[in-house]
Structure 1
Amino acid sequence: MTTTLSPVLSATWGAQRPWSLSTYESHDGYQAFRKALTMAPADIVTAVKDSGLRGRGGAGFPTGLKWSFLPQPDGGPRYLVVNADESEPGTCKDIPLMMASPHLLLEGVAITSFAIGCNHAFIYLRGEVVHVYRRLLQAVEDAYEKGYLGKDVLGSGYDLDVTVHAGAGAYICGEETALLDSLEGRRGQPRLKPPFPAVAGLYARPTVVNNVESIASVPAIIGKGVDWFRSMGTEKSAGFGLFSLSGHVVRPGQYEAPLGITLRELLEMAGGVREGHELKFWTPGGSSTPLFTAEHLDVPLDYESVGAAGSMLGTRALQIFDETTCVVRAISRWTDFYQHESCGKCTPCREGTWWLKQILHRIEDGEGTREDLDTLLDVCDNILGRAFCALGDGATSPITSGLQYFRAEFEAHIDGAGCPFDPAASALFPYTPRRRPAALEGASAGTAGA
């Protein structure tokens, strides 16, 4: 194995009380911010642009380029909003990062805010993670007391306030414009674009919205330089990232490595698939990305290579499933989630996810037909590219890829009138049949006999 781990974001996670300001400062914390305050804001934007840092929230859009979309200052406020509403099934990188290194995020917020001319930044956190919320609030308080936030930061004449906001727990608020509506006190639903947030975002003012990991990567770029950052990763997918391994793997957890590492290499570090079993399928970027199988073990995990192989790198949430897992059950569970979390604003997503859910339940319960498989693909086709935001598109990905690689398993559910897997064998998605009302059992049996 030639690729090694690159602890940058996670460098202090093993230290004593890594979340404390004193520990962070002892590891050169806020030194990059001090350096940034001596630079011209435009030079910071240029450095991040030249580094090749791409958004770590899933879309992979160049971070520095996104900052440069802000219009020229007009005397009014502009904002930075950190998207910490981590909700993608299988994704678990931002929460441990904020728990272990909240000041790394705050330093990134401070540098970014200075670079874009922002005097008030917001961190929008998923409301259920109360422990992370409390830790962030304490970190913000400590940063104010030490002079890293507030009026005349570090004697530079620059003012910066940071507000930590806890959302109410809606997956749709991970979409940046729905997040902004929620932050403004309205129901979280995607906005029509254009205008984009860079022009009219929070409170109709120019706004940059970035993921936690994206902002937390900025201090290293400013502190160690563009060339250092570009020495890791690939030409078009530079740098490092957190890879979240979960599921049927011996040592699940966060593995920070350069982009371009393969699942085969990560599995070797993680002890492989659990003993006595073999890899069946996996997600490269969370449940909203098309599935991969064992034949994709050596696909470099960078944006271009994963895209060329038919999926998306997304949030690098590598969910590992062995041969005991029913792929129909797994996809049905994910579809339940997307149907539940659809905000209902657009018809393709609101109605389409409901029909996908019903059809998958029917197939899983042994009441489906071969025509249902074509109907699934037809409904997915009517959602893809027609929904108001990416939630609808993401809901179709596991279904279309599941049928591409495991159509025979779907057909086995139909031909065998039920799930062929032992319900006790799967540790992740055990099969629990949804029994029909007793009054319908006879009618169902009669139909089957006919």
Structure 2
Amino acid sequence: MSTLAWFAFASLAAWVWLLLGQGFFWRTDQRLPPPRDDEHAREEPGAWPRVVVVVPARDEAGVLPLSLPSLLAQDYPGVAEVILVDDGSTDGTGSLAAELAGRCGGLPLTVASPGEPEPGWTGKLWALRHGMALARARGPEFLLLTDADIAHGPDGLRRLVSAAVGNDLDLVSQMARLRAESAWERLIVPAFVYFFAQLYPFRWINRARPRATAAAGGCVLLRTETAVAAGVPEAIRQAVIDDVSLARAVRRAGGRIWLGLAERVDSVRPYPGLGELWRMVARSAYAQLRHSPLLLVGTVAGLVVVYLVPPVALVTGAAAGDAPAAWAGGAAWAVMAGSYVPMLRYYRQPLWLAPLLPFTASLYLLMTVDSAVRHHRGRGAAWKGRTYARPEAAPER
């Protein structure tokens, strides 16, 4: 066989293994679990625990009118309140939040400001530190940590608490459905969640004996006593990938974790152009690789073999009369596209996007390389006007 055919068969073998041996990552059926006990007798907790919602926000005036009212309007039977931490905004985020609370009513809202981060802290975790300290003074059993661009269904908090209490979970996290309306969002956003699930298969995370650990930072319900035991957020104060770091800290403290896809938790933040999406991925991609050049080389090679070889082998093999290369490349591409279909359906996107996954993967490859280049130039992770030249990677579990 030709060299190209060998690479094509290697890619096909990798896809067969990914399809069957990587925690069925491509399935989208990991949703909030019902209580473990009798489903009819314990659909909801008998005594609803106190919850404080903590929202770190920096220059979020553009999205708050779409997100904050959904939190204030939560239909929660117990005692709950919202703390929005205005992290040095210059667009009137704090005053807008207070105005929305006065106009919409609902859960009580407190707007606080932590000042500029101390050395050794990333901005979001500094804001969370301040908000969580204020929250703990209220004596809540649970904290809901949610981003300022996340809109929640009216029963979202009720369902999160029911899942946590009914299954004795310390951290319940839902991956919000990101916006996928512009052409670039449709091409890149579903793949972002697909790649995340491939790296951290939800089924592995949710097993009694977990094989992976992760969370989705946009929506995290955290048991307060577990946060204290894990030393959160101090233990992860430099993390750029704060959600994965949080999950690992909770797991190290003996906490039980669940992660799945959301049904009524949506991000309202628009990413209309490629530039915005590129910056979103590039700011943390190299941190995910623990700033390791060797891991970067391995990741690039893996992406090339798994995602780019199949279409190249099919087209080149067919043109050159190399039947084994064309057959193996076509089969690998078909498996790849088929595994992407459930995620496209979850995002309500046309299925013709599935064969374009190699192109999307090539963009992610370039974003990852760009992330490494930025790091080695001392620019590191940049977000909302702040740059972290050499932030720590997420610690291992």
When normalised by structure 2's length, the TM-score is: 0.35
The structure that is helix-richer by fraction is: 2
Structure with the greater alpha carbon radius of gyration: 1
When normalised by structure 1's length, the TM-score is: 0.31
